[in-house]
Chains A and B, each alone.
Chain A
Amino acid sequence: MKKLINDPNLVITEMLDGFVAAHSSSVKRVENTTVVARKNAPVSGKVGIVSGGGSGHEPAHAGYVGEGMLDAAVSGEVFTSPTPDQVFEAIKAVDSGKGVLLVIKNYTGDVMNFEMAAELAEAEGIQVDQVVVNDDVAVEDSSFTTGRRGVAGTVFVHKLAGAMAETGASLEEVKQTAEKVVQHVRTMGVALSPCIMPSSGEESFELGDKEIEMGIGIHGEPGIEKKPLVSADEITDEMVERILPELELNGNDEVAVMVNGMGATPEMELYIVNRKVHELLAEKSVTVSHTFVGEYMTSLEMAGCSITVLKVDDQLKELLDAPSQAPAFRI
């Protein structure tokens, strides 16, 4: 497998160096860490927002650091949660005294490492709270599983909690907004091809030439079902049908839509999917207030996409429209 890298052991640090070089006017690297923070962090009078996770999801998460979104993002190894000490460094870097909200994707490792970091921060007297994003409808949410995964819907949590924090809201208020987004956002993903880990050089799962994997997460793990490849409309239909019943949408409801490429999907295909998503929503008389098509939460070079639907009200729409300077989400 061909990859444009120097050394598999250096991919994270070299990527972060390049990221900071590209956006040096707005972000900085916290020294000797894998933390990217706003250049002016901590921002006084504002709740800090920290997210992060394994690498390989670019532009997540560092791409969402900037005014209007995150204060800092922590990068772990590829598809591996960052360690507690790194998350702790991010918390310290952004705490202005008004508290810090951790936005965690619901994966076992992420939850454990971020919780340990929160314990370290609390021990130093920093006020920390957390929200766990679990928007993936592919996975059953029951006591017999770890629960639903956090996937592309996390970007909406970053945006809306970030916008709320800019208003000077308290930690509790920012958390409430984040929770509201989590309650109203759902995602479903599909893969046309697996991804390849830089460290092992191996495909993350096996998929035949004419097969797709429905219900994938964002870490190259297999999905819930292998199926024969069918048309974009049929695949989109199945995905949307999994999402919509969860949101209990009525004729007068409004939603924001995100069609997210997994890393190797041409925009052409994403727009073809988006066309069908809009058609299906129109059939149900659901209004689309905002649409985002592009790469927001990828899985290295996986081909495929995810569809995210966020049910919005006036407050969430206003927060979506608020300005953002984050390199990967400028509004």
Chain B
Amino acid sequence: MNVNQTAAWITHYNQHLQDQKDYLTSLDRKIGDGDHGINMARGFAEAAKAVEAETFETSADVLKKAAMTVMSKVGGASGPLYGTALLKMSMAAKGKNVEGDVFAEMFEAAIDGIKQRGKAETGEKTMLDVWVPVLEEVKSSGFDAAIVEETAQKAMEATKDLTATKGRASYLKERSKGHLDPGAVSSYYLFVSLAEALKEEG
């Protein structure tokens, strides 16, 4: 993944969030407080703008810029979590050619950051339930963008059957079952955007 593709990752992701803003918000209204789409769309619009406004040397620089913007513009729980994920990926990518195993290192760093910041583990109906299956797939079969997207989709759909024990959805306990986790869905779009960006020439 070259520097232009990394920037495209962020801008594609922003496009998905703008398109799916109402959908994400409607998911969040069922088991959260109904603002996930709004907050993510607001923050990543700023991140995409910031990434487009500058020329960067490396993929790590792009991710760092996106991370800092997200942390200061999103708020709520999504801001620290996505900001941390991007920042940790930036640190893992620093000084490296972002390809093959480096993706696994980046995803693992992001997951560690999300776990620590959110005090969460897998199986709690959160974004981790998409990130962790993706990492496991990349670790066992190597990095393939199309398969990453497919794995993310299946994992996202599987959050429907989970009971939330973290975040605001946890207050609903059993009532959270039968609904997709909004953070898992927004994470799925991140991996869709990654696959799209990698198809571009850069």
Q: Mark A191-225, 1 if CB is under 8 A from B, else 0.
A: 00000010110101100000000000101111010
> Does A45 interact with chain B (Cβ within 8 Å)?
no
Contact residue among A108, A113, A222 (Cβ-Cβ distance under 8 Å from B75): A113
Q: Mark B32-53, 1 if CB is under 8 A from A, else 0.
A: 1111001100100000000000
When C-beta atoms are compared, the residue in chain A nearest to B171 turns out to be A139
A249 to B80, CA, bound (A): 40
- Give the residues from 71 to 93 in chain B that come closer than 8 angstroms, CB to CB, to chain A: 71-81
Q: Mark B114-136, 1 if CB is under 8 A from A, else 0.
A: 00011000000000000000000
Q: A116-B80, A205-B29, A221-B168 are in contact. Are A83 and B34 (CB under 8 A)?
A: no
CB neighbours (8 Å) of A83 from chain B are 71-75, 79
Please determine whether B165 and A144 come into contact, CB atoms closer than 8 angstroms.
yes
CB neighbours (8 Å) of A217 from chain B are 168, 171
Please determine whether B35 and A199 come into contact, CB atoms closer than 8 angstroms.
yes
> Does A82 interact with chain B (Cβ within 8 Å)?
yes
A199 to B173, CA, bound (A): 27
How distant is B7 from chain A, measured CB to nearest CB, in Å?
Answer: 23
Q: Which of A15-23, A71-79, A163-171, A251-259 has 4 or more CB atoms under 8 Å from chain B?
A: A71-79
A76 to B118, CA, bound (A): 19
Please determine whether B168 and A108 come into contact, CB atoms closer than 8 angstroms.
yes
Contact residue among B25, B80, B118 (Cβ-Cβ distance under 8 Å from A113): B80
CB neighbours (8 Å) of B35 from chain A are 77-80, 197, 199-200
> Does B18 interact with chain A (Cβ within 8 Å)?
no
Please determine whether A84 and B168 come into contact, CB atoms closer than 8 angstroms.
no
Contact residue among B25, B78, B170 (Cβ-Cβ distance under 8 Å from A146): B170
A83 to B68, CA, bound (A): 11
CB neighbours (8 Å) of A220 from chain B are 33-34
- Give the residues from 1 to 53 in chain B that come closer than 8 angstroms, CB to CB, to chain A: 22, 25, 29, 32-35, 38-39, 42
Q: Mark A144-169, 1 if CB is under 8 A from B, else 0.
A: 11100100000000000000000000
Please determine whether B34 and A145 come into contact, CB atoms closer than 8 angstroms.
no
CB neighbours (8 Å) of A219 from chain B are 33, 168
How distant is B199 from chain A, measured CB to nearest CB, in Å?
Answer: 33
CB neighbours (8 Å) of B172 from chain A are 222, 224
A85 to B33, CA, bound (A): 23
When C-beta atoms are compared, the residue in chain A nearest to B39 turns out to be A80
Please determine whether B38 and A200 come into contact, CB atoms closer than 8 angstroms.
yes
Contact residue among B42, B171, B175 (Cβ-Cβ distance under 8 Å from A145): B171
CB neighbours (8 Å) of B78 from chain A are 109
How distant is A12 from chain B, measured CB to nearest CB, in Å?
Answer: 11
Q: A145-B171, A146-B170 are in contact. Are A202 and B34 (CB under 8 A)?
A: yes
When C-beta atoms are compared, the residue in chain A nearest to B43 turns out to be A83
> Does A107 interact with chain B (Cβ within 8 Å)?
yes
CB neighbours (8 Å) of A221 from chain B are 32-34, 168, 171
When C-beta atoms are compared, the residue in chain B nearest to A205 turns out to be B29
> Does A244 interact with chain B (Cβ within 8 Å)?
no
> Does A112 interact with chain B (Cβ within 8 Å)?
yes
When C-beta atoms are compared, the residue in chain B nearest to A215 turns out to be B171
A221 to B31, CA, bound (A): 8
Q: A84-B80, A202-B29, A202-B34 are in contact. Are A224 and B73 (CB under 8 A)?
A: no
- Give the residues from 305 to 329 in chain A that come closer than 8 angstroms, CB to CB, to chain B: none
> Does A81 interact with chain B (Cβ within 8 Å)?
yes
**Which of B22, B32, B75 neighbours the largest number of chain A CB atoms within 10 Å of its CB?**
B75
> Does B166 interact with chain A (Cβ within 8 Å)?
yes
CB neighbours (8 Å) of B142 from chain A are none
Please determine whether A112 and B117 come into contact, CB atoms closer than 8 angstroms.
yes
A145 to B29, CA, bound (A): 19
A113 to B80, CA, bound (A): 6
Please determine whether B39 and A77 come into contact, CB atoms closer than 8 angstroms.
yes
When C-beta atoms are compared, the residue in chain B nearest to A34 turns out to be B75
- Give the residues from 104 to 153 in chain A that come closer than 8 angstroms, CB to CB, to chain B: 107-109, 112-113, 116, 138-140, 144-146, 149
8 closest A-B pairs by CB: A109-B77, A112-B80, A109-B76, A80-B76, A145-B170, A80-B75, A219-B33, A108-B77
Q: List 6 A-B contacts (CB under 8 A).
A: A76-B75, A81-B77, A83-B79, A140-B173, A217-B171, A222-B175
